[in-house]
Amino acid sequence: MEFRLSETQLMIRDTAREVANNTIAKRADEIEKEKKVPQEVFEALAVAGLMGIPFPEEYGGIDAGYVSFALACEEIARVSPSVCTSMVISVFFMEAIRHYGNEEQKNMYLIPGIEGKIRGSLAFTEPDTGSDPKQIQTAYRKAGDSYVLNGVKRFITNAFFEGPILVFAKCQETKVITAFVFDKFIEGYSLSTPWETVGLRGSSICDVFLDEVKVPASAIVGEIGQGFDILIGTVAHSKVAICAEFVGIMATTYDLAVKYAKEKTHRGQSIAKFQAIQLKIARIAALVESARLMTYILAEKSEDRSNMEHLNAWVGMVKAYVSDTAVECSTMAMNVLGAYGVTEEYRIERFVRDALFAPNVEGVSDIQRVIAASHILYADDNLIENI
């Protein structure tokens, strides 16, 4: 198996690293305190081409695939996981439109999205449904040539920024799930105050209230009743980027732990000479590298959309592993710093808090393992052969 990155992938990684270090790093503290990603930062991602990595050139993208996007996500997350989250959600809103939308919708949303002029949102999660999309309660009904939506969507990223939102709703009569795209802040669209969260504070999440929101038939993405397939396909691929984000968090906590171990002295010698510290550092390094390689393999597999059941099982396996590993790795790294690790000045506590999101968002870890195990035990194909 070939693990070398191509010239294009290396260029994208280096570009993302430059944007992260030269632009985002200067505003990371501000993003954390203000609890939002400024438009200028978002536009900087677009100017560098990072918003268009997986998209065809005809819409302004660079058609470089999911491995390249995973590399970019990792680099951005090493500096600000919150910026990475906002970017990922907007990109995978566009991915849904790319794969399931019509040409008019693609021209309407992909081009300005890739240019960073709008931020898309995905609205699936609800107060009474999380891991089971078939339990969606947000409802729609036909009203002449239009459709009327009512319901509440929970924990929606980018909800208070101008731009489009992709809403999944269930027909009141037939109970089929359909996807609708429309601009936020139309009549009947309102928001809760942002949720206070343990981490990823710069990518604030809100509840979205839909009260008699009226949209035209042209707002339907795909076909009536195709919403479940659109949701499953989009979420599976977005988890690749989410895994890369948490790898980036792990990589930064590793860097901070190594730096501290080399600089901190005890009785005249570096604590890096203590075996207890060495054991931790070696374990952290192994966790980072294993999670990174699994994520890259998953990203490569995600290019093939012909067997979504198989891909979803791989996604579940890798997402669960990376999530749990991110928490273990970042916590262990913080422990290397001892009491300094829990202070804001030494930065690592922020990344530990961000890592705590991993097992609890975009599919909780236990559910992801159930999905993977079901495929391993009952599917006809072998999940891990021919790696």
pLDDT at position 128 is 85
Quick one: average pLDDT of 173-191?
Answer: 97
Structure-token pair, residue 68? 């390249």
Task: Report the chain's C-alpha Rg in angstroms.
Answer: 21
Q: How confident is the model at residue 219 (pLDDT cuts 50, 70, 90)?
A: very high
- According to CATH, the superfamily of the domain at 7-114 is Acyl-CoA dehydrogenase/oxidase, N-terminal domain (1.10.540.10)
Domain boundaries, given as residue ranges, for the chain: 7-114, 121-221, 227-378
pLDDT at 84 over 60: yes
- Rounded Cα distance, 287 and 330, in Å: 10
Q: How confident is the model at residue 143 (pLDDT cuts 50, 70, 90)?
A: very high
Q: How confident is the model at residue 2 (pLDDT cuts 50, 70, 90)?
A: low
Instruction: For the chain, give the mean pLDDT.
Output: 95
pLDDT tens-place string over residues 296-317: 999 999 999 888 899 999 999 9
In sequence order, the 6+-apart residues with CB closer than 8 A to the CB of 303 are 65, 66
Structure-token pair, residue 272? 């890096």
pLDDT at position 218 is 97
pLDDT at position 387 is 46
Q: How confident is the model at residue 384 (pLDDT cuts 50, 70, 90)?
A: confident
Q: Contact 358/368 with Cβ under 8 angstroms?
A: no
First to last CA, the chain: 8
The model's pTM is 0.95
Q: How confident is the model at residue 362 (pLDDT cuts 50, 70, 90)?
A: confident
Query: Position 294: which residue type?
Result: M
- According to CATH, the superfamily of the domain at 227-378 is Butyryl-CoA Dehydrogenase, subunit A, domain 3 (1.20.140.10)
Q: How many residues does the chain have?
A: 387
pLDDT tens-place string over residues 194-204: 999 999 999 99
Quick one: average pLDDT of 178-205?
Answer: 96
Any idea which fold 121-221 has? Butyryl-CoA Dehydrogenase, subunit A; domain 2 (2.40.110)
Which residues are known catalytic residues? 362
Portion of the chain with pLDDT greater than 90, in percent: 90
Quick one: average pLDDT of 115-131?
Answer: 90
Quick one: average pLDDT of 78-107?
Answer: 97
- Please state whether beta strands 269-270 and 265-266 pair in parallel, antiparallel, or not at all (unpaired): antiparallel
Quick one: average pLDDT of 33-61?
Answer: 96
pLDDT at position 134 is 76
Give the 3-state DSSP-derived string for 250-295, with helices as H, strands as E and coil as C: HHHHHHHHHHHHHHCEECCEEHHHCHHHHHHHHHHHHHHHHHHHHH
Q: Contact 205/159 with Cβ under 8 angstroms?
A: yes
pLDDT at 133 over 80: no
Q: How confident is the model at residue 217 (pLDDT cuts 50, 70, 90)?
A: very high
**Cα-flanking dihedrals φ and ψ of residue 379, to 5°?**
-80, 160
Q: How confident is the model at residue 132 (pLDDT cuts 50, 70, 90)?
A: confident
The b/e string for 302-327 (b: 16+ C-beta within 10 A; e otherwise) is beeeeeeebbbbbbbbbbbbbbbbbb
